[in-house]
A = this chain, B = another copy of it.
Amino acid sequence: MLLNENRFFPINENSRSIAQRLFQEVEKLPIISPHGHTDPYWFAKNENFTNATDLLIIPDHYVLRMLISQGLKLEDLGVAKNNEESSKKDRREIWRLFAKNYYLFRSTPSRLWMNHTFEKLFGINKTLNEKTADYYFDHIGECLKKDEFRPREMYDKFNIELLSTTESALDDLKFHKSIKQSAWSGKVISTYRPDNVIDPDFDGFIQNIFKLAEITEEDITTWSGYLNAHKKRREYFISLGTTASDHGHPTANTADLSQSEASELYQKVITLKADNNEKELFRAQMLTEMAKMSIEDGLVMQIHPGSYRNHNTGIFDIFGRDKGFDIPQRTSFVDALKPLLNLLGMDIRLKIILFTLDESTYSRELAPLAGVYPCLKLGPAWWFHDSPNGMMRYRELVTESAGFYNTVGFNDDTRAFPSIPARHDVSRRVDCAFLANQVAKHIILEEEAKDIAVELAYKLAKVSYKL
């Protein structure tokens, strides 16, 4: 057995037995996955996945980064260079390399997710290591050939009720359309992610703006045309089921410029005359513009600030984005959000979900802000903090000022489709552990904890994301 039935529960027996009872209330609830990065192509085409390495190693930046940190190289792990379509590396050899180094993942969430996938999805009970590497590779390969391991069948097996992917503002959502038109009952929606047409530092920003103009038939040489283009794109996303937007800015800065100031700034930005401060101001103003649109069209905003993307220039130049070299940075919210909150923060039609990679902001800034502004809700522990200890710290640092009802349940936020049930399992167990400790310390009653557990595992995600 790779998984113990009491994993992540409190060590104390009394508290553990409370956690067990709470977990019974939530274990079998359907999964709501309101924010993530799976590929809608999978669900549209429903083709079989090919092998363990392409499914579980190459696209998983958590796995890549740990192996790289110990001296392995991206090219040896099958990661394609920018000028290659795909790596020619032998998939079995890569898997063996992973197996040999699997001990490195001890006590990391990657191992928890992997072991869950191995046992629950592929029915494996042996530990992964050098000796079992080939067995794993072969067994998983066999499984993946079967119909029951195709994306739609997995989705159903995982008991997913709704899955949201994330697409850029320029995406045609053709796979979402095709899923919608299909006979399959699975619900896969998109999230409006306009960073590539908002962030002047994004690769190909100007080309993206031109593409935006083309798609929307708006005159993006004017500020109002540019805003209209966003509105049209949001409408289009909404028409296919989208309920949220997502904004991955370097900071949480917002602004409240007059329309003439904003218009002038926009002219600088699209004529490449904006300096770094002006680019940042533009991103800041655009968060406020997105909030204004949200009040009109109802999209829930998500703000994911504070990641220093592509920290290593050499790796970025050779291999591109999302290879494990994004590093969290100190983040501020109090001054940063003030312009937006002053303008719109008391409007109960607005919903903004905040995420952070800077845990020092949980108790200092985020819980106090979400604990008073009706528009603000707190997203779950994110990315590096999406782990048993990270989730526990989140509840411990956030709950006393923000309560439970200013949080939004769990996001798996993953590219790794097979890990979705593993991640929700960790989250539900850790929340039950937190609640069990609260009961054991006589802060809440067990009956209340049961209610709350269901909110955290299921209901809050539906309400918060308007699903």
Contacts and interface: CB of A to CB of B under 8 A. Distances in A.
A328 B365 contact: yes
A387 to B, nearest CB: 4
Interface stretch (A77-85, A192-200, A285-293, A388-396): A388-396
Interface stretch (A38-46, A262-270, A401-409): A401-409
Contacts of A451: 103
A445 to B, nearest CB: 9
A253 to B, nearest CB: 15
A308 B327 CA distance: 26
B109 A364 contact: no
Q: In the complex this chain forms, how many copies of it are found?
A: 3
Contacts of A277: none
A265 to B, nearest CB: 23
A56 to B, nearest CB: 18
A68 B372 contact: yes
A10 interface: yes
A184 interface: no
Contacts of A389: 396-397, 399-400
B452 A106 contact: yes
A66 B371 contact: yes
Interface string A330-373: 10101100100110011010000000011110011101111111
B372 A384 contact: no
A437 interface: yes
Contacts of A390: 363, 400
A51 B399 CA distance: 30
Interface in A56-92: 65-66, 68-71
Given A8-B443, A311-B338, A384-B401, A359 B364 contact: yes
A375 to B, nearest CB: 9
Contact of A7 (B328, B401, B443): B443
A403 B66 contact: yes
Contacts of A313: 342
A448 interface: yes
B71 A374 contact: yes
A376 B403 CA distance: 34
Interface string A78-115: 00000000000000000000000001111111001000
A444 interface: yes
A416 interface: no
Contacts of A65: 371-372
Contacts of A360: 330, 358-360, 364
Contacts of A387: 400-401
A403 B443 contact: no
Interface in A146-168: none
Task: Report, as a range, how many residues of chain A touch the other chain.
Answer: 35 or more
A438 interface: yes
Nearest to A397: B389
A276 to B, nearest CB: 14
B9 A441 contact: yes
A385 interface: yes
Interface stretch (A11-19, A28-36, A133-141, A240-248): A11-19
A15 to B, nearest CB: 5
A184 to B, nearest CB: 36
A221 interface: no
A315 interface: yes
Contacts of A348: 71
25 contacts: A6-B442, A7-B441, A11-B437, A11-B441, A12-B12, A66-B372, A70-B405, A107-B438, A107-B444, A308-B335, A311-B341, A312-B342, A312-B346, A313-B342, A314-B346, A324-B372, A327-B368, A329-B365, A330-B360, A363-B385, A364-B384, A367-B384, A388-B400, A388-B441, A388-B443
Q: Lowest 5 A-B CB distances belong to which pairs?
A: A4-B442, A65-B372, A7-B442, A387-B400, A360-B360
